[in-house]
Amino acid sequence: MKYGVIGTGAIGGYYGAKLAHSGQEVHFLLHSDYEYVKAHGLQVDSCNGSFHLTDVNAYQHTEDMPPCDVVLVCLKSVNNSLLNSLLSHLLHHQTLVVLIQNGIGIEEDVQKMFPDVQLAAGLAFICSAKTEPGRVNHQCYGSINLANYSCKDETLMQIVVDEFRLAGIQAELVEYHEARWKKAVWNMPFNGMTVALHTQTDLLLKNEATRRLIREQMMEVVGAAQHLGIKNIDSSFVDKMIEITDSMTPYSPSMRLDYDFHRPMELYYIYTRPIEIAREAGYKMPKLEMLEAELRFLEEQNNKKG
């Protein structure tokens, strides 16, 4: 199939490059490093084996890109207002749009923008960063779960999963609501806490007080999910996420990098929206509400610094 990647950063650069390296036709939308990638290609430094793409289908504008069978949206969700202009050029009547973005409620809002487009969620479990032009640093993990939101053709979903696997990416089909809330169990504590305490994931878990707080925050997400009737999410899943994070390479999540580079943080879909959804269902997440307030203060101060 023909793939398009909107947002060739740490995530889109990695998955798109893996697909291209396996022989798939992939078209990449780039922004600041378009000229560099066009001239020098795309380098992936990976714990699973590094590689270089010499001839990259690189574009600055989606109107120059062909219609694609699958579009991987890897923009930060703070830029989703751009999708109205970016996506329309890449769609045909059966295109599947996979939103590889963090948070709760994303697909609902994008579907309002494109009522007839088939959507799926992409839940990436990966430590990856892109801090220089044309180079993705893949540190560990790298699997992705796909969850059907409005795709009418389950066969298409399975084909995408199969092609990810052929590219050396561990991929599974999962239930949508369960997948989004399970991802939030990790994202809501670790993204914000690394910003608020200006640290990395490993140090949060090595300190007894912050380890306890992380677990309590995770259990707030589990409680919200259970209150909403979502299955297969409980304290054992929290223990699993903490165990996995213990074994990770020390890591700065995407929100920490956004804060450090004075970029907008993805506060709405990672914090505000799930907190609102839980509150409307009669469940409160006080520790995560406090963390959100702290992050909004830090972002306002960060903006003043320029």
Give me 72's structure tokens: 């991987």
The one catalytic residue in 183, 206, 231, 240 is 183
As a whole number of angstroms, the distance between CA 181 and CA 192 comes to 16
CB crowding 57-80: b at 16 or more within 10 Å, else e: bbbeebeebeebbbbbbbbbbbeb
Question: Which residue do the tokens 């970029």 mark?
Answer: 263
304 counts as catalytic: no
- List, as one string, the DSSP characters of the chain: -EEEEE--SHHHHHHHHHHHHTT-EEEEE-STTHHHHHHH-EEEEETT--EEESS-EEES-GGGSPP-SEEEE-S-GGGGGGHHHHTGGG--TTPEEEE---SSSHHHHHHHHSTTSEEEEEEEEEEEEEEETTEEEEEEEEEEEEEESS-S-HHHHHHHHHHHHHTT--EEEE-HHHHHHHHHHHHHHHHHHHHHTT--HHHHHHSHHHHHHHHHHHHHHHHHHHHTT--S-SHHHHHHHHHHHHTSPP---HHHHHHHTTPPP-HIIIIIHHHHHHHHTT---HHHHHHHHHHHHHHHHHHHH-
Just list the catalytic residues.
183
